[in-house]
Amino acid sequence: MESSRIRMAVFEALTIGARSGFNDERRRRFLDEGVNLLLADLDMDSLGQMEFCIAIELSTAVTLLPAQLAELASTDAIEQCIREKLGERTENRR
């Protein structure tokens, strides 16, 4: 899965899980400029975190648990984690 598709998957999951939502400016900065967002700034409650993780799994087939989000802490870290997990899966198939 290419990097831009992973970033779009993270964005779509954030629009589901983050109560603060995404206006046009935040969307543009995240998708076009590659801005790294801190999860703590996105007002995700426990239900939002679960919805975020489910959305990530549905779009990337990578399982993230809400408890992992605290460790990852930012959108860049989440993207890196997804890339790593997808890479491990590819390597294990060989």
Residue 31 has pLDDT above 70, yes or no: yes
Angle at 82 between CA 76 and CA 88, to 5 degrees: 135
Per-residue pLDDT tens digits for 61-76: 999 999 999 999 999 9
pLDDT value of residue 24: 82
Residue 44 has pLDDT above 70, yes or no: yes
- List the structure tokens of 28: 């543009």
Stretch 35-51: mean pLDDT: 93
What amino acid is encoded at 33 in this protein?
E
β-partners of residue 74 are 38
Domains delineated in the chain: 3-93 (1.10.1200)
pLDDT value of residue 1: 58
Q: What region, left, alpha or beta, does residue 58 occupy, with left being phi > 0 and alpha being psi -120 to 50 degrees?
A: alpha
pTM above 0.85, yes or no: yes
